Amino acid sequence: MKNFVYSIPTKIFFGKGQIEKIGSEILKYGKKVLLVYGKGSIKSNGIYDKAVEILKAHEIEYFELGGVDPNPRTETVYKGAEICKENGIDLILAMGGGSTIDCAKAISLQSKYDGDFWTDFYIKGRRDLIKEVTPVASILTLAATGSEMNSNSVISKMDENMKVGFSYEGIKPVFSVEDPEYTYSVSKYQTCAGAIDIMSHLFEQYFSAEKDGFMQNRIIEGLLKTIIHFAPIAVENPKDYEARANIMWISSLALNELVTYGKQSTDWATHQIEHQLSAVYDITHGIGLGILTPAWMKYVLCEENIHRFVDYGKNIWNLSGSDWEIAEKSIEKTREFFTSLGCPASLSEINIDDSHFEEMAKNAVFRGPVGSMKKLTEKDILEIYKLAL
């Protein structure tokens, strides 16, 4: 186990009615807030009205940036940063799912920077240029990305067909409200996509070149079993509180670094491959992952890493047989589970052909080969896209 520093500073207010805490928490940072949200669902389900009521009661001045896209755009980030600069915003409050929170994080970076966040941070990775950020907080309405409790942000630049992630400790939310009832209105399709996204985060940390990580992998297996148990329940009964609560909390635990502390490596190839898919076709991230993950598994499986697939097959799916039988069947069980939730089984099912595969494969490795379970080149990624057809 490698050395690590345990630090997960985001304060979580979990459960019913926890939105009441936002007023006193915001006042710790100032009295001017930028509200960032998506296409308006928070106005129809009452979250917006409740938040505004609390802000007014605490005499907190608020400004708004609505219309954040499911794959947040650079243009929205620039707009939000300008609002922050013009009005001296003290805290950015994202109300929505991962895309909204990711956008708020990028706004946080640009709001205190005179250069270009996209070029300098997301493309070049120049964390050394960051001197100050605006604090971010969130009210979560969709369990999927884990952005409510981590330092990651993914932004799209549509005119270049690029979707790129960036991580910086300073943009971890200072607090997040997680009320499972706020996810009751999430559609079956988005519940499916969210569950797959959560599972993919766990896979990326489970399937790696790591030779040790025994404890961490057992934690991951426990989380995987839990999401496999509760996801079908939430899809069929959206107002099942226990299902929604478990999925929401796993969303946070799956990607807040808890399960990787002490591990030597993680993978993240599938996410990088999917980012290019949703950059070009603007599809839901979790759906792209659901289609690509079994293809990635099939492509990377070999004698050197079969032990990890055997662990997965035995401990998650209770499979038996030879190592190769267990490994191959575990991949099929994964695909079957995804489709049982409502995920398409192939790219062709969502009308995606191979016309952009070469461009996407090239963009996926713009920083070099991806993955650790197997280092993937542009050629490898092209083959994975083809397997997913």
Q: Give the mean pLDDT of 313-341.
A: 99
Per-residue confidence (pLDDT) for residue 83, from 0 to 100: 99
Do residues 286 and 197 make contact, with C-beta atoms less than 8 angstroms apart?
yes
Question: If you average pLDDT over residues 145-164, what whole number do you get?
Answer: 97
Cβ–Cβ < 8 Å for 93, 60 = no
Task: List phi, psi (to 5°) of 187.
Answer: -65, 165
Q: What is the mean pLDDT of residues 80-93?
A: 99
Confidence of residue 26 (pLDDT cuts 50, 70, 90): very high
pLDDT at 8: 92
Domain boundaries, the chain: 11-182, 188-387
pLDDT at position 289 is 99
CATH topology of domain 11-182: Rossmann fold (3.40.50)
pLDDT-based confidence at 40, cuts 50/70/90?
Answer: confident
Mean of pLDDT values over 358-368: 96
Residue 198 has pLDDT above 90, yes or no: yes
In this structure, which amino acid lies at residue 30?
G
Q: What is the mean pLDDT of the chain?
A: 97
What would the mean pLDDT of 252-267 be, rounded to a whole number?
Answer: 94
pLDDT at 344 over 90: yes
pLDDT of res. 145: 97
Q: What confidence score (pLDDT) does residue 209 get?
A: 84
The answer to whether residue 148 scores a pLDDT higher than 90 is yes
pLDDT of residue 216: 96
Q: Looking at residue 158, what is its pLDDT?
A: 94
210 has a pLDDT exceeding 90? no
pLDDT, one tens digit per residue, over 277-289 is: 999 999 999 999 9
> Which region among 23-37, 94-108, 198-212, 320-334 has the lowest average model confidence (pLDDT)?
198-212
Strands 175-178 and 136-140, bridge-based pairing: parallel
Region 336-355: mean pLDDT is: 98
pLDDT recorded at residue 212: 84
Average pLDDT over residues 340-346: 98
Question: CATH fold of 188-387, please?
Answer: Dehydroquinate synthase-like, alpha domain (1.20.1090)
The pLDDT value recorded for residue 264 is 85
Quick one: angle between helices 323-341 and 214-236, nearest 10? 30
